[in-house]
């Protein structure tokens, strides 16, 4: 694959690269693919980290978003906790439910909007918004641009 010599029974196994190769840019680089790969890597790394209450709540939020905006009560119930216990666990980790809900929606919006097959109304539904205009206002608050402007910037 690297078109380099292979030495068997060497004292150590290693690959050597010239430093200039790390500083050079690929002529045929694909920024969209690089961004997608970065997203996949971050998600995979997040799954490797210990399961915190923040992670559990984020997962529950993402699972319930298509049914509408999940309340803290509904998430606590899904995690078999009282609302107070949920709030206490999150506070111990320096989190708040409303912030996690907002961040989850924003991250998922950015992910779904990168898919040209996913319409704005579908993204709104997947994120638990009542309608597309509510989603557009929230997206503009998060990013400073409309969902359409964001998609246009991807082209």
**Based on the structure, what is the number of domains in the chain?**
1
- How many whole angstroms separate alpha carbon 23 and alpha carbon 105? 36
Which residue range(s) make up the domain with 95? 52-154
Residue 18 falls inside a structural domain = no
Q: Is residue 44 part of a domain?
A: no
Q: How far is it, in rounded angstroms, from Cα 139 to Cα 111?
A: 12
Token pair recorded at residue 24: 């050079």
Which residue reads 């190769």 in tokens? 21
Is residue 151 within 8 Å of residue 113, measured between CB atoms?
yes
Tell me the CATH number at 115.
Answer: 1.10.10.60
- Max mean pLDDT among 26-30, 34-38, 45-49, 93-97 falls in 93-97
Alpha-carbon distance of 24 to 38, in angstroms, equals 19
Q: Is pLDDT above 90 for 2?
A: no
Residue 32 lies in a domain: no
* pTM exceeding 0.75: no
- 3-class secondary structure for 41-99? HHHHHHHHCCCCHHHHHHHHHHHHHHHCCCCHHHHHHHCCCCHHHHHHHHHHCCCCHHH
3-state secondary structure of 30: coil
CA atoms within 13 A on the CB side of 93: 18
Q: Yes or no: say if 60 and 79 are a contact pair by the CB < 8 Å rule.
A: yes
pLDDT at position 1: 67
Residue 35 lies in a domain: no
Q: Is residue 30 part of a domain?
A: no
**Predicted confidence (pLDDT) per residue in 4-38, tens digit:** 788 888 888 888 878 887 777 777 778 888 888 88
Q: Is residue 83 part of a domain?
A: yes
- Which backbone phi and psi does 97 adopt, to 5 degrees? -60, -50
Please report whether residue 56 resides in a domain: yes
Is 31 part of any domain?
no
- Read off the tokens for 13: 């196994």
């Amino acid at each position: 694959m690297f078109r380099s010599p292979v030495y068997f029974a060497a004292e150590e196994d290693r690959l050597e690269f010239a430093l200039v190769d790390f500083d050079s840019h690929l002529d045929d680089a694909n920024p969209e693919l690089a961004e997608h790969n970065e997203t996949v890597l971050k998600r995979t790394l997040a799954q490797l980290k210990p399961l915190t209450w923040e992670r559990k709540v984020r997962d529950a939020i993402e699972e319930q978003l298509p049914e509408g905006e999940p309340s803290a009560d509904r998430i606590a119930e899904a995690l078999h906790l009282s609302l107070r216990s949920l709030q206490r666990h999150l506070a111990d980790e320096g989190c708040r439910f409303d912030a996690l809900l907002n961040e989850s929606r924003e991250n998922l919006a950015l992910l779904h909007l990168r898919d040209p097959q996913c319409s704005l109304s579908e993204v709104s539904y997947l994120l638990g918004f009542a309608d597309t205009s509510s989603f557009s206002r929230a997206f503009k608050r998060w990013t400073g641009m409309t969902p359409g402007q964001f998609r246009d910037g991807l082209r």
